[in-house]
Amino acid sequence: MTQSVSIIVPVYNVEKYIERCAVSLFEQTYPNIEYVFVNDSTLDESMQILKRVLLRYPSRQNNTIIVDHEVNRGLAAARNTGLANCKGDFIVHVDSDDYLEHNAVELLVNKQTITNADIVTGKALRHDFDNDKLIPHPHYRSKNEMVLDMMQLTINHAIWRRLIRKSLYDDYQIKAEEGVNCGEDCWVMTQLAYYASSVSFIDEVVYHYDCTRSDSYMSSIKEGLNKKKIKDDIATAKLIIDFFKDKEQIFYDEANTVALNYMNNVLFSCARLKDKPYYYEILSQMKSFDKKYWSIINWDKFYCRLSVHNFHSCRVFEQMMKLYGQVISKVKS
């Protein structure tokens, strides 16, 4: 008996991309697929285009579900809605501006059948304006290594390009945090990796990650601060810290270290861009983190020096940021 797979696709303002995505899904070589599209109250013609594409694939129509949000609730909520409406043994998440290799599901399921893994991960190609780049998957020596990597706020935690056993979500009540829409999968994947009995990988490319949308959450920002992403990343870091409070110390320590290092990088960017108001905003948030971990990056000493200054002028601010840069360089070395 073949495993049933549900592909969950949030849809919002992707009229330029939804046909490519849908075609790649409906033309999968694996037969036993359920498709769950979540219309997150899109403002464009995305749903009309999707429905026209579906008419070209009559064999897929009975296995396709469209769920409508009455109002736009964001990516995290759309993923949760998809999970609540799917019936497959395994889940595949696909962003509607991305697309799959034609045999992606078949490759992932074949590996799962051999290994009985709870999570199977493949490779992805990242498409930027000027080049394509392979996103390989790390070969973890243990499940704990994967857990530690999932919380790092890097591309490795992406929930797409994976086949995930649905019972992990159900048994441990795992879902995305509604309102945290950028990097929301870091929180989810950390939990999934923690509860998984085993994980495995394939060396084939299964997923195409399109980074050419100028209005997407993950589009590259050459100048300035992506404050929406920073807000969501800090919220994610806090969720992970709380999750590991009563679990293994190694994970709790790493969660705190990741959060502090991330916020230090944000402060450095604030200094480089001379954004003093946002610098103070992040600094005030940093005070809520466990000060026990400040010494990891020498922040305890640096903060004491900062506390006596008000940055009344850019000159003073720049002098203090020079000191900050020296501290960071020392830590990194």
List phi, psi (to 5°) of 50.
Answer: -60, -45
Span of 101-115, 143-157, 199-213, 272-286 with lowest mean pLDDT: 272-286
Q: What's the pLDDT score for residue 318?
A: 56
Exposure class string for 28-61: b at 16+ Cβ within 10 A, else e? bebeebbbbbbbbebeeebbebbeebbeebeebe
34 Cβ neighbours under 8 A, 6+ residues apart: 4, 5, 6, 7, 63, 64, 65, 86, 87, 88
129 is written with which tokens? 């304006």
Domains in the chain, CATH or no CATH each: 5-210 (3.90.550.10), 227-332 (no CATH)
> Is the model's pLDDT at 185 over the cut of 50?
yes
Q: List, in sequence order, every residue forming a beta bridge with 11; answer none if it has no partner.
A: 39
Residue 292: DSSP 8-state = G
**pLDDT-derived band at 295, boundaries 50, 70, 90:** low
Residue 268: the pLDDT is 77
Instruction: Considering only residues 26 and 333, tell me which one the structure prediction assigns the higher pLDDT.
Output: 26
CA 179 to chain centre: 13
pLDDT in tens, 197-214: 999 999 999 999 999 876
Strand 64-68 and strand 33-39: the pairing is parallel
Confidence of residue 162 (pLDDT cuts 50, 70, 90): very high
Read off the pTM.
Answer: 0.87
Give the tens place of pLDDT for each residue, 35-80. Answer: 999 999 999 999 999 999 999 999 999 999 999 999 999 999 999 9
